[in-house]
A and B are shown apart, each in its own frame.
Chain A
Amino acid sequence: MPSTADDPDGLELELLLEAVHRRYGLDFRGYATASLRRRVWRRVTLEGLQTVTGLTDRILHDPRVLERLLKDLSINVTEMFRDPSFHGALREAAIPLLRTYPFVRVWNAGCSTGEEAYSLAIALHEAGLLERSRIYATDMNEGALAQARTGSFPLERMQVYTENYQRAGGARSLSEYYVARGASAVFDPMLARNMVFAHHNLVSDRSFNEFHLIVCRNVMIYFGRELQRHVHELFLDSLVPLGLLGLGRKEAIQPPEIAACYQPLVASEKLFRRRT
Protein backbone atom coordinates (compact mmCIF):
# COMPACT_ATOMS: atom_id res chain seq x y z
CA MET A 1 0.00 0.00 0.00
CA PRO A 2 1.55 3.31 -0.96
CA SER A 3 2.11 5.53 2.02
CA THR A 4 0.74 9.01 2.32
CA ALA A 5 2.06 12.21 3.77
CA ASP A 6 0.16 11.66 7.01
CA ASP A 7 1.81 8.26 7.46
CA PRO A 8 5.45 9.23 8.07
CA ASP A 9 6.34 5.79 9.49
CA GLY A 10 5.12 4.07 6.36
CA LEU A 11 7.10 6.53 4.27
CA GLU A 12 10.29 5.91 6.24
CA LEU A 13 9.94 2.18 5.74
CA GLU A 14 9.33 2.65 2.02
CA LEU A 15 12.44 4.81 1.71
CA LEU A 16 14.50 2.19 3.54
CA LEU A 17 13.36 -0.55 1.16
CA GLU A 18 13.97 1.76 -1.79
CA ALA A 19 17.51 2.42 -0.53
CA VAL A 20 18.23 -1.28 -0.05
CA HIS A 21 17.01 -1.92 -3.56
CA ARG A 22 18.86 0.92 -5.26
CA ARG A 23 22.09 0.40 -3.36
CA TYR A 24 22.26 -3.38 -3.20
CA GLY A 25 19.73 -4.66 -5.77
CA LEU A 26 17.72 -6.54 -3.16
CA ASP A 27 14.01 -6.04 -3.58
CA PHE A 28 11.76 -6.23 -0.56
CA ARG A 29 9.44 -3.51 -1.81
CA GLY A 30 6.59 -5.87 -2.57
CA TYR A 31 6.69 -7.64 0.78
CA ALA A 32 3.86 -7.35 3.29
CA THR A 33 4.86 -4.39 5.42
CA ALA A 34 3.10 -5.47 8.61
CA SER A 35 5.60 -8.24 9.31
CA LEU A 36 8.56 -6.35 7.78
CA ARG A 37 7.98 -3.36 10.02
CA ARG A 38 8.40 -5.40 13.19
CA ARG A 39 11.70 -6.81 12.09
CA VAL A 40 13.03 -3.51 10.79
CA TRP A 41 12.22 -1.88 14.12
CA ARG A 42 13.98 -4.68 15.94
CA ARG A 43 17.11 -3.87 13.92
CA VAL A 44 16.68 -0.13 14.60
CA THR A 45 16.68 -0.86 18.33
CA LEU A 46 19.55 -3.36 18.21
CA GLU A 47 21.71 -0.84 16.33
CA GLY A 48 21.01 1.67 19.09
CA LEU A 49 19.13 3.96 16.70
CA GLN A 50 15.95 5.96 17.11
CA THR A 51 14.34 5.91 13.69
CA VAL A 52 14.01 3.85 10.53
CA THR A 53 15.60 6.74 8.66
CA GLY A 54 18.59 6.42 10.98
CA LEU A 55 18.87 2.79 9.90
CA THR A 56 18.62 3.76 6.23
CA ASP A 57 21.51 6.14 6.72
CA ARG A 58 23.68 3.40 8.29
CA ILE A 59 22.78 0.87 5.64
CA LEU A 60 23.70 3.18 2.77
CA HIS A 61 27.21 3.54 4.13
CA ASP A 62 27.89 0.26 5.88
CA PRO A 63 27.22 -3.07 4.17
CA ARG A 64 27.70 -4.87 7.49
CA VAL A 65 24.54 -3.24 8.82
CA LEU A 66 22.75 -4.42 5.71
CA GLU A 67 24.02 -7.96 6.36
CA ARG A 68 22.52 -7.82 9.82
CA LEU A 69 19.22 -6.48 8.54
CA LEU A 70 19.08 -9.20 5.89
CA LYS A 71 19.44 -11.80 8.61
CA ASP A 72 16.48 -10.24 10.40
CA LEU A 73 14.42 -10.11 7.24
CA SER A 74 15.03 -13.72 6.36
CA ILE A 75 12.73 -15.97 8.31
CA ASN A 76 14.05 -19.48 7.88
CA VAL A 77 11.99 -21.37 10.43
CA THR A 78 11.06 -24.72 9.01
CA GLU A 79 10.44 -28.33 9.99
CA MET A 80 10.50 -31.77 8.46
CA PHE A 81 6.97 -32.87 7.54
CA ARG A 82 5.62 -29.55 8.77
CA ASP A 83 1.83 -29.91 8.90
CA PRO A 84 1.78 -33.72 8.71
CA SER A 85 -1.67 -33.77 7.11
CA PHE A 86 -0.25 -31.89 4.12
CA HIS A 87 2.45 -34.49 3.66
CA GLY A 88 -0.15 -37.21 4.14
CA ALA A 89 -2.17 -35.67 1.30
CA LEU A 90 0.93 -35.55 -0.89
CA ARG A 91 1.47 -39.24 -0.24
CA GLU A 92 -2.13 -40.23 -0.89
CA ALA A 93 -3.27 -37.86 -3.61
CA ALA A 94 -0.18 -36.41 -5.33
CA ILE A 95 2.18 -39.38 -5.52
CA PRO A 96 -0.27 -41.60 -7.45
CA LEU A 97 -0.48 -38.84 -10.09
CA LEU A 98 3.28 -38.31 -10.17
CA ARG A 99 3.72 -42.04 -10.67
CA THR A 100 2.20 -41.73 -14.14
CA TYR A 101 5.20 -39.72 -15.41
CA PRO A 102 8.37 -41.40 -16.64
CA PHE A 103 10.43 -38.71 -14.92
CA VAL A 104 9.27 -36.44 -12.10
CA ARG A 105 10.50 -32.88 -11.56
CA VAL A 106 9.69 -31.23 -8.23
CA TRP A 107 10.35 -27.58 -7.34
CA ASN A 108 10.56 -26.79 -3.67
CA ALA A 109 10.51 -22.97 -3.76
CA GLY A 110 11.64 -21.21 -0.58
CA CYS A 111 13.19 -24.39 0.79
CA SER A 112 15.04 -22.63 3.61
CA THR A 113 17.50 -25.02 5.31
CA GLY A 114 16.29 -28.11 3.43
CA GLU A 115 13.99 -29.93 5.86
CA GLU A 116 11.05 -29.71 3.47
CA ALA A 117 13.07 -30.98 0.50
CA TYR A 118 14.26 -33.99 2.51
CA SER A 119 10.67 -34.67 3.56
CA LEU A 120 9.66 -34.71 -0.11
CA ALA A 121 12.61 -36.98 -0.95
CA ILE A 122 11.60 -39.47 1.74
CA ALA A 123 8.01 -39.59 0.46
CA LEU A 124 9.21 -40.12 -3.12
CA HIS A 125 11.68 -42.76 -1.96
CA GLU A 126 9.00 -44.70 -0.09
CA ALA A 127 6.82 -44.60 -3.20
CA GLY A 128 9.70 -45.99 -5.23
CA LEU A 129 9.88 -42.79 -7.28
CA LEU A 130 13.00 -41.09 -6.03
CA GLU A 131 15.22 -42.84 -8.57
CA ARG A 132 13.34 -41.20 -11.41
CA SER A 133 12.75 -37.85 -9.72
CA ARG A 134 14.69 -34.66 -9.40
CA ILE A 135 14.01 -32.18 -6.63
CA TYR A 136 15.04 -28.58 -7.31
CA ALA A 137 15.13 -26.87 -3.94
CA THR A 138 15.63 -23.12 -4.15
CA ASP A 139 15.84 -20.17 -1.81
CA MET A 140 17.14 -16.61 -1.95
CA ASN A 141 19.10 -17.07 1.25
CA GLU A 142 22.61 -18.39 0.62
CA GLY A 143 23.20 -19.16 4.28
CA ALA A 144 20.11 -21.33 4.43
CA LEU A 145 21.14 -23.11 1.21
CA ALA A 146 24.63 -23.80 2.54
CA GLN A 147 23.05 -25.37 5.61
CA ALA A 148 20.66 -27.38 3.41
CA ARG A 149 23.55 -28.77 1.37
CA THR A 150 25.10 -30.35 4.46
CA GLY A 151 22.13 -32.71 4.61
CA SER A 152 22.14 -32.58 8.38
CA PHE A 153 19.68 -31.12 10.83
CA PRO A 154 19.80 -30.57 14.58
CA LEU A 155 19.54 -33.90 16.36
CA GLU A 156 17.38 -32.35 19.06
CA ARG A 157 14.63 -31.78 16.50
CA MET A 158 14.35 -35.45 15.55
CA GLN A 159 11.75 -36.32 18.13
CA VAL A 160 9.32 -33.77 16.71
CA TYR A 161 10.21 -34.74 13.14
CA THR A 162 9.65 -38.41 13.93
CA GLU A 163 6.18 -37.65 15.23
CA ASN A 164 5.43 -35.51 12.18
CA TYR A 165 6.70 -38.23 9.87
CA GLN A 166 4.51 -40.85 11.46
CA ARG A 167 1.44 -38.64 11.45
CA ALA A 168 2.13 -37.98 7.76
CA GLY A 169 1.78 -41.69 7.11
CA GLY A 170 5.49 -42.55 7.17
CA ALA A 171 6.00 -46.25 6.54
CA ARG A 172 9.10 -46.81 8.67
CA SER A 173 11.04 -45.18 11.43
CA LEU A 174 12.57 -41.83 10.56
CA SER A 175 15.77 -42.95 12.26
CA GLU A 176 16.39 -45.34 9.37
CA TYR A 177 17.24 -42.26 7.31
CA TYR A 178 19.88 -40.63 9.49
CA VAL A 179 22.82 -41.26 11.74
CA ALA A 180 23.58 -39.19 14.80
CA ARG A 181 26.90 -37.37 14.63
CA GLY A 182 27.52 -35.06 17.55
CA ALA A 183 24.56 -32.69 17.76
CA SER A 184 23.54 -33.41 14.18
CA ALA A 185 21.34 -35.92 12.43
CA VAL A 186 23.14 -36.62 9.17
CA PHE A 187 20.73 -37.83 6.51
CA ASP A 188 21.38 -40.68 4.10
CA PRO A 189 23.16 -39.22 1.03
CA MET A 190 20.99 -41.53 -1.07
CA LEU A 191 18.16 -39.03 -0.46
CA ALA A 192 20.19 -36.17 -1.89
CA ARG A 193 21.38 -37.92 -5.04
CA ASN A 194 18.65 -36.36 -7.14
CA MET A 195 18.35 -33.15 -5.18
CA VAL A 196 19.76 -29.79 -6.29
CA PHE A 197 19.96 -26.81 -3.96
CA ALA A 198 20.16 -23.59 -5.92
CA HIS A 199 19.82 -19.87 -5.46
CA HIS A 200 16.60 -18.47 -6.88
CA ASN A 201 14.80 -15.27 -5.98
CA LEU A 202 11.06 -15.50 -6.57
CA VAL A 203 10.85 -11.72 -6.97
CA SER A 204 13.45 -11.25 -9.68
CA ASP A 205 14.38 -14.63 -11.21
CA ARG A 206 12.52 -16.37 -13.96
CA SER A 207 11.04 -19.76 -14.54
CA PHE A 208 13.86 -22.25 -15.12
CA ASN A 209 12.10 -25.52 -15.91
CA GLU A 210 8.76 -27.27 -16.17
CA PHE A 211 7.66 -29.12 -13.08
CA HIS A 212 5.14 -31.78 -12.18
CA LEU A 213 4.90 -30.58 -8.59
CA ILE A 214 5.70 -27.22 -7.03
CA VAL A 215 5.72 -26.92 -3.24
CA CYS A 216 5.92 -23.37 -1.89
CA ARG A 217 4.80 -23.10 1.69
CA ASN A 218 5.03 -20.24 4.17
CA VAL A 219 6.97 -18.09 1.72
CA MET A 220 4.31 -16.07 -0.04
CA ILE A 221 2.67 -15.07 3.23
CA TYR A 222 5.55 -12.58 3.40
CA PHE A 223 4.61 -11.07 0.05
CA GLY A 224 2.03 -8.39 -0.69
CA ARG A 225 -0.81 -9.11 -3.08
CA GLU A 226 0.96 -7.79 -6.19
CA LEU A 227 4.04 -9.87 -5.54
CA GLN A 228 1.90 -12.92 -4.83
CA ARG A 229 0.31 -12.47 -8.24
CA HIS A 230 3.73 -12.23 -9.84
CA VAL A 231 4.88 -15.45 -8.19
CA HIS A 232 1.67 -17.27 -9.07
CA GLU A 233 2.21 -16.28 -12.70
CA LEU A 234 5.72 -17.65 -12.42
CA PHE A 235 4.38 -20.93 -11.03
CA LEU A 236 1.78 -21.20 -13.76
CA ASP A 237 4.61 -20.73 -16.28
CA SER A 238 6.59 -23.44 -14.55
CA LEU A 239 3.99 -26.20 -14.24
CA VAL A 240 3.26 -28.85 -16.83
CA PRO A 241 -0.41 -29.10 -17.84
CA LEU A 242 -2.21 -30.86 -14.96
CA GLY A 243 0.80 -30.17 -12.73
CA LEU A 244 0.41 -29.92 -8.96
CA LEU A 245 0.87 -26.99 -6.59
CA GLY A 246 1.10 -27.22 -2.80
CA LEU A 247 0.76 -24.10 -0.65
CA GLY A 248 0.82 -23.46 3.09
CA ARG A 249 -2.08 -24.39 5.33
CA LYS A 250 -3.57 -20.88 5.37
CA GLU A 251 -2.62 -19.63 1.91
CA ALA A 252 -4.85 -19.03 -1.09
CA ILE A 253 -4.11 -18.59 -4.77
CA GLN A 254 -4.36 -14.89 -5.65
CA PRO A 255 -5.85 -13.35 -7.73
CA PRO A 256 -9.10 -15.12 -8.75
CA GLU A 257 -8.10 -15.30 -12.46
CA ILE A 258 -5.11 -17.39 -11.53
CA ALA A 259 -7.03 -19.43 -8.96
CA ALA A 260 -9.43 -20.30 -11.79
CA CYS A 261 -6.56 -22.05 -13.59
CA TYR A 262 -6.47 -24.67 -10.84
CA GLN A 263 -8.83 -27.17 -9.36
CA PRO A 264 -8.46 -28.39 -5.81
CA LEU A 265 -6.87 -31.80 -5.44
CA VAL A 266 -7.12 -31.82 -1.64
CA ALA A 267 -8.79 -28.53 -0.82
CA SER A 268 -8.26 -28.69 2.94
CA GLU A 269 -4.49 -29.11 2.42
CA LYS A 270 -4.13 -26.42 -0.22
CA LEU A 271 -3.04 -28.96 -2.79
CA PHE A 272 -4.10 -27.88 -6.27
CA ARG A 273 -3.95 -29.24 -9.79
CA ARG A 274 -3.55 -27.15 -12.91
CA ARG A 275 -6.63 -27.54 -15.06
CA THR A 276 -4.88 -27.72 -18.41
Chain B
Amino acid sequence: MVDLVVIGASWGGLRALRAVLAPLTPDFPAPILIVQHRSDEESALAELLARTCALTVREAEDKDRLQAGTVLLAPHGYHLLVEGDEAILSVDDPVRFSRPSIDVLLESAAEHGDRAVGVVLTGANADGAAGLAAIRRRGGIAIVQDPQSAERPQMPRAALAAVPDAQVRPLEQIGPELMRICAPSTARPGAA
Protein backbone atom coordinates (compact mmCIF):
# COMPACT_ATOMS: atom_id res chain seq x y z
CA MET B 1 0.00 0.00 0.00
CA VAL B 2 1.37 3.35 -1.02
CA ASP B 3 1.44 5.75 1.93
CA LEU B 4 3.59 8.61 0.67
CA VAL B 5 3.76 10.78 -2.44
CA VAL B 6 6.75 13.06 -2.97
CA ILE B 7 6.90 15.52 -5.84
CA GLY B 8 9.69 17.73 -7.16
CA ALA B 9 9.24 20.65 -9.52
CA SER B 10 11.32 23.58 -10.63
CA TRP B 11 10.94 25.99 -13.56
CA GLY B 12 7.29 26.02 -14.62
CA GLY B 13 6.36 24.14 -11.46
CA LEU B 14 3.40 26.20 -10.32
CA ARG B 15 1.38 25.42 -13.41
CA ALA B 16 2.48 21.79 -13.39
CA LEU B 17 1.72 21.30 -9.69
CA ARG B 18 -1.72 22.80 -10.13
CA ALA B 19 -2.42 20.37 -12.94
CA VAL B 20 -1.21 17.40 -10.88
CA LEU B 21 -3.13 18.30 -7.71
CA ALA B 22 -6.38 19.44 -9.34
CA PRO B 23 -7.82 15.95 -10.02
CA LEU B 24 -7.09 14.67 -6.48
CA THR B 25 -10.15 14.26 -4.27
CA PRO B 26 -10.29 15.33 -0.59
CA ASP B 27 -10.24 11.69 0.49
CA PHE B 28 -6.89 11.13 -1.22
CA PRO B 29 -5.42 8.40 0.98
CA ALA B 30 -1.75 9.45 1.16
CA PRO B 31 0.15 12.50 2.38
CA ILE B 32 1.92 14.54 -0.30
CA LEU B 33 5.23 16.34 0.15
CA ILE B 34 6.46 18.83 -2.42
CA VAL B 35 9.70 20.59 -3.16
CA GLN B 36 9.26 23.45 -5.59
CA HIS B 37 12.40 25.50 -6.25
CA ARG B 38 11.73 29.13 -5.49
CA SER B 39 13.98 32.10 -5.89
CA ASP B 40 12.57 34.33 -3.16
CA GLU B 41 10.89 34.19 0.21
CA GLU B 42 7.35 34.59 -1.02
CA SER B 43 5.22 32.10 0.83
CA ALA B 44 2.22 32.61 -1.44
CA LEU B 45 2.86 29.28 -3.17
CA ALA B 46 0.75 27.32 -0.67
CA GLU B 47 -2.14 29.73 -1.16
CA LEU B 48 -1.84 29.64 -4.91
CA LEU B 49 -1.95 25.86 -4.94
CA ALA B 50 -4.74 25.65 -2.38
CA ARG B 51 -6.95 27.78 -4.59
CA THR B 52 -7.07 25.19 -7.33
CA CYS B 53 -7.08 21.95 -5.38
CA ALA B 54 -9.36 20.14 -2.96
CA LEU B 55 -6.64 19.12 -0.51
CA THR B 56 -5.23 21.08 2.41
CA VAL B 57 -1.99 22.76 1.30
CA ARG B 58 0.49 24.44 3.63
CA GLU B 59 4.17 24.98 4.28
CA ALA B 60 5.71 22.28 6.40
CA GLU B 61 6.75 22.90 9.98
CA ASP B 62 9.41 20.81 11.60
CA LYS B 63 8.05 17.47 12.96
CA ASP B 64 4.65 17.96 11.33
CA ARG B 65 2.79 14.67 11.32
CA LEU B 66 2.02 13.50 7.81
CA GLN B 67 -1.67 13.24 7.10
CA ALA B 68 -3.56 11.67 4.24
CA GLY B 69 -4.89 14.31 1.90
CA THR B 70 -2.62 17.03 3.24
CA VAL B 71 0.02 18.61 1.03
CA LEU B 72 3.13 19.94 2.75
CA LEU B 73 5.47 22.27 0.89
CA ALA B 74 9.15 22.75 1.63
CA PRO B 75 9.55 26.25 3.10
CA HIS B 76 11.94 28.61 1.37
CA GLY B 77 15.49 28.10 2.62
CA TYR B 78 14.92 24.69 4.24
CA HIS B 79 15.38 21.15 3.06
CA LEU B 80 12.30 19.03 3.62
CA LEU B 81 12.76 15.37 4.54
CA VAL B 82 10.47 12.61 5.69
CA GLU B 83 11.18 10.28 8.59
CA GLY B 84 8.52 7.72 9.43
CA ASP B 85 5.31 9.74 9.62
CA GLU B 86 6.98 13.09 10.32
CA ALA B 87 8.22 15.94 8.18
CA ILE B 88 11.72 17.08 9.10
CA LEU B 89 13.37 20.35 8.15
CA SER B 90 17.06 21.10 7.89
CA VAL B 91 19.28 24.02 6.98
CA ASP B 92 22.12 21.81 5.76
CA ASP B 93 24.06 23.24 2.86
CA PRO B 94 22.27 23.56 -0.46
CA VAL B 95 22.63 20.44 -2.58
CA ARG B 96 23.68 21.35 -6.09
CA PHE B 97 22.77 24.98 -5.40
CA SER B 98 19.29 24.15 -4.16
CA ARG B 99 17.73 24.40 -0.72
CA PRO B 100 15.17 22.96 -0.66
CA SER B 101 16.57 20.14 -2.77
CA ILE B 102 14.37 17.63 -4.54
CA ASP B 103 17.03 14.93 -4.22
CA VAL B 104 17.11 15.37 -0.46
CA LEU B 105 13.34 14.89 -0.14
CA LEU B 106 13.19 11.98 -2.55
CA GLU B 107 16.15 10.18 -0.99
CA SER B 108 14.57 10.42 2.44
CA ALA B 109 11.31 9.09 1.00
CA ALA B 110 13.18 6.10 -0.42
CA GLU B 111 13.28 4.76 3.14
CA HIS B 112 9.57 4.08 2.71
CA GLY B 113 10.50 1.35 0.21
CA ASP B 114 7.67 0.17 -1.99
CA ARG B 115 5.21 2.39 -0.13
CA ALA B 116 6.59 5.56 -1.74
CA VAL B 117 5.75 7.22 -5.05
CA GLY B 118 8.17 9.81 -6.44
CA VAL B 119 7.19 12.28 -9.15
CA VAL B 120 9.56 14.54 -11.09
CA LEU B 121 8.01 17.42 -13.01
CA THR B 122 9.21 20.27 -15.20
CA GLY B 123 12.54 22.00 -14.53
CA ALA B 124 15.72 23.33 -16.05
CA ASN B 125 18.24 21.35 -14.01
CA ALA B 126 18.91 17.78 -12.91
CA ASP B 127 17.60 17.91 -9.34
CA GLY B 128 15.47 14.90 -8.44
CA ALA B 129 17.18 12.38 -10.71
CA ALA B 130 19.33 10.83 -7.97
CA GLY B 131 16.43 10.90 -5.52
CA LEU B 132 14.05 9.22 -7.92
CA ALA B 133 16.65 6.55 -8.61
CA ALA B 134 16.90 5.93 -4.85
CA ILE B 135 13.13 5.52 -4.59
CA ARG B 136 13.11 3.09 -7.49
CA ARG B 137 16.04 1.11 -6.08
CA ARG B 138 14.13 0.58 -2.86
CA GLY B 139 11.07 -0.69 -4.70
CA GLY B 140 9.04 2.52 -4.86
CA ILE B 141 7.14 3.84 -7.88
CA ALA B 142 8.75 6.46 -10.12
CA ILE B 143 6.71 8.80 -12.30
CA VAL B 144 8.21 11.39 -14.63
CA GLN B 145 6.40 14.10 -16.52
CA ASP B 146 6.71 13.52 -20.25
CA PRO B 147 9.48 15.94 -21.25
CA GLN B 148 7.38 16.81 -24.30
CA SER B 149 4.67 18.20 -22.05
CA ALA B 150 7.07 20.03 -19.70
CA GLU B 151 7.66 23.76 -19.73
CA ARG B 152 11.35 22.88 -19.25
CA PRO B 153 12.32 19.34 -20.25
CA GLN B 154 15.79 19.06 -18.63
CA MET B 155 14.68 17.83 -15.23
CA PRO B 156 12.32 15.13 -16.51
CA ARG B 157 14.99 14.07 -19.01
CA ALA B 158 17.65 13.78 -16.31
CA ALA B 159 15.23 11.76 -14.17
CA LEU B 160 14.52 9.42 -17.07
CA ALA B 161 18.21 8.97 -17.76
CA ALA B 162 18.68 7.93 -14.12
CA VAL B 163 15.49 5.85 -13.93
CA PRO B 164 14.91 4.37 -17.40
CA ASP B 165 11.98 2.25 -16.21
CA ALA B 166 10.06 5.17 -14.70
CA GLN B 167 6.48 5.70 -15.86
CA VAL B 168 6.36 8.59 -18.31
CA ARG B 169 3.09 10.53 -18.25
CA PRO B 170 1.81 13.70 -19.85
CA LEU B 171 1.01 16.30 -17.22
CA GLU B 172 -2.77 15.86 -17.20
CA GLN B 173 -2.48 12.12 -16.58
CA ILE B 174 -0.28 12.30 -13.51
CA GLY B 175 -3.06 13.25 -11.06
CA PRO B 176 -5.41 10.49 -12.21
CA GLU B 177 -2.49 8.05 -12.10
CA LEU B 178 -1.78 9.00 -8.48
CA MET B 179 -5.45 8.43 -7.67
CA ARG B 180 -5.27 5.00 -9.23
CA ILE B 181 -2.02 3.98 -7.50
CA CYS B 182 -2.85 5.31 -4.06
CA ALA B 183 -6.45 4.22 -3.78
CA PRO B 184 -6.20 0.50 -4.56
CA SER B 185 -9.71 -0.13 -3.31
CA THR B 186 -11.17 1.76 -6.25
CA ALA B 187 -8.70 0.19 -8.65
CA ARG B 188 -9.28 -3.32 -7.36
CA PRO B 189 -12.73 -3.54 -5.90
CA GLY B 190 -13.02 -6.30 -3.35
CA ALA B 191 -9.29 -6.43 -2.58
CA ALA B 192 -8.53 -6.81 1.13
Contacts and interface: CB of A to CB of B under 8 A. Distances in A.
B107 interface: yes
A211 B150 CA distance: 54
Interface residues of B, number: 23
A252 B83 contact: no
Nearest to A9: B111
A32 B107 contact: no
Nearest to B79: A35
B63 A35 contact: no
B107 A250 contact: no
Nearest to B108: A34
Contact of A251 (B62, B81, B83, B107): B62
B91 A249 contact: no
B50 to A, nearest CB: 18
Q: How large is the interface on A (under 10, 10 to 19, 20 to 34, 35 or more residues)?
A: 20 to 34
The secondary-structure label for the interface of chain B is mixed
Contact of A1 (B63, B81, B84, B89): B84
A162 interface: no
Contact of A225 (B63, B82, B90, B107): B63
A184 interface: no
Interface in A241-276: 248-252, 254
B120 interface: no
A248 B88 CA distance: 13
A154 to B, nearest CB: 15
B44 to A, nearest CB: 15
Given A33-B83, A77-B93, A221-B62, A250 B88 contact: no
Contact of B78 (A9, A220, A228, A250): A250
Given A225-B63, A228-B63, A250-B78, A32 B92 contact: no
A218 interface: yes
A236 B92 CA distance: 28
Contacts of B63: 225, 228, 252, 254
B75 A250 contact: yes
Nearest to B81: A34
* 4 closest cross-chain pairs (CB), A and B: A34-B83, A34-B81, A35-B90, A221-B62
20 contacts: A9-B111, A32-B90, A34-B108, A34-B111, A35-B81, A35-B88, A75-B91, A77-B91, A218-B91, A220-B62, A221-B78, A221-B90, A222-B90, A228-B63, A248-B62, A249-B75, A250-B61, A251-B62, A252-B62, A252-B63
Given A35-B90, A221-B62, 13 more contacts: A1-B83, A32-B81, A32-B83, A35-B88, A75-B92, A77-B91, A221-B90, A225-B86, A249-B75, A250-B59, A250-B78, A251-B61, A254-B63
